Amino acid sequence: MNEFDLIRRLTRALPTNPGVVVGAGDDCAVLEPGGPDRLLLFKTDAVVEGVHFLADAPPEKIGHKALARCLSDIAAMAGTPSAALVTVGLPRGFQADWVEAVYTGLNALARRCEVAIVGGETTTSPGGVFISVALLGWVPRGQGVLRSGAEAGDAIFVTGELGGSLAGKHLDFEPRLAEARWLARHFPPHAMLDISDGLASDLRHLLSASRTGAELLGAAIPISRAARLAARAGSGAKPALLAALTDGEDFELLFTVASRDAVPLLDAWRKQFPGLPLTCIGKITAGEGIALRDKHGTRTLTDHGYAHFA
């Protein structure tokens, strides 16, 4: 059973109440705080030694990653993060300096994003280090972006470059908070998420939530330098395009806008965020699944992204 099957099974009949606007299944939960202006965003995520980082990774980067993953989900809803709680599981005999360095990295990112760290729990974890972050954020009513609003004809965009994150980016990526808020104000996406499981897998999540299909242009997909370098490593290496489609932990924004917005968006983006590529990689279709168009023709994309329990 992979992670997605398990989550489907566990989320079939979750308890709910009238305060829930969006429950399980999107990037964040959306809750009703009362008051006329804004909605509450709520997200939690964990990083585990041996899964999301290796024991010899720089502790500052581990702390950065633990918070950045949650921030990326707030970005995916076009929200503004506000406060986080951090639960750290530590083996007996841990080094206090190491834990403090984790917090140094986490706190530096929190300060830059104006996020308050409002509690620090620690617990013994005989099996290894884990860091679980819970994050609250806000989004103006009417500006939150779900996964479910894509419409046939929409242009599909992705920020940054994809693939090869394990070479380093997964530990020091920047959550796209400012970019997402700018989008929500100027070119409201119909649907958006952050790419954590890989483009192919996460696009499927967006399509499934929106009950649409997609056609991708193979030549348009922005491939990272890390993925290109890895592809040159030898005959057994993953081709670079496949890496961009299926490698996990890109933490870039994937979103759709009305097709008439596509060109004005690209023009405005270049002025607003000159250092970060924005690429149109295809369009939403009325069908099902993902068609990949390249020089060999059009084929159905069957490669799933990275699934945690695959």
Say if CB 153 and CB 259 are below 8 A apart: yes
Cβ 257 to its own copies, closest distance in Å? 26
Cβ 195 to its own copies, closest distance in Å? 16
Give me 109's structure tokens. Answer: 């990112």
Residue among 97 and 236 whose Cβ is closer to its own copies: 97
Residue among 192 and 265 whose Cβ is closer to its own copies: 192
Residue 53: strand pairing partners: 49
Task: Classify residue 15 by burial, with Cβ atoms within 10 Å: 0-12, 13-18, 19+.
Answer: exposed
d(CA 258, CA 97): 50
Cβ 310 to its own copies, closest distance in Å? 10
Residues in CB range of 162: below 8 A, 6 or more apart? 195, 199, 221, 222, 223, 224, 227, 243, 244, 245, 247, 250, 252
Residue among 87 and 212 whose Cβ is closer to its own copies: 87
Residue among 65 and 283 whose Cβ is closer to its own copies: 65
Cβ 228 to its own copies, closest distance in Å? 28
End-to-end Cα separation, the chain, in angstroms: 8
Say if CB 39 and CB 30 are below 8 A apart: yes
Residue among 114 and 288 whose Cβ is closer to its own copies: 114
Cβ 287 to its own copies, closest distance in Å? 30
d(CA 153, CA 249): 28
Residue among 127 and 287 whose Cβ is closer to its own copies: 127
Which residue stretches of 76-137 are H helix? 96-112
Residue among 94 and 273 whose Cβ is closer to its own copies: 94
Cβ 117 to its own copies, closest distance in Å? 4
Task: Classify residue 196 by burial, with Cβ atoms within 10 Å: 0-12, 13-18, 19+.
Answer: buried
Cβ 81 to its own copies, closest distance in Å? 10
Residue among 152 and 209 whose Cβ is closer to its own copies: 209
Residue 282: strand pairing partners: 156, 216
- The neighbour count for residue 99, using CB atoms within 10 Å, is 18
Residue tagged 């023009």 (tokens): 267
d(CA 77, CA 181): 9
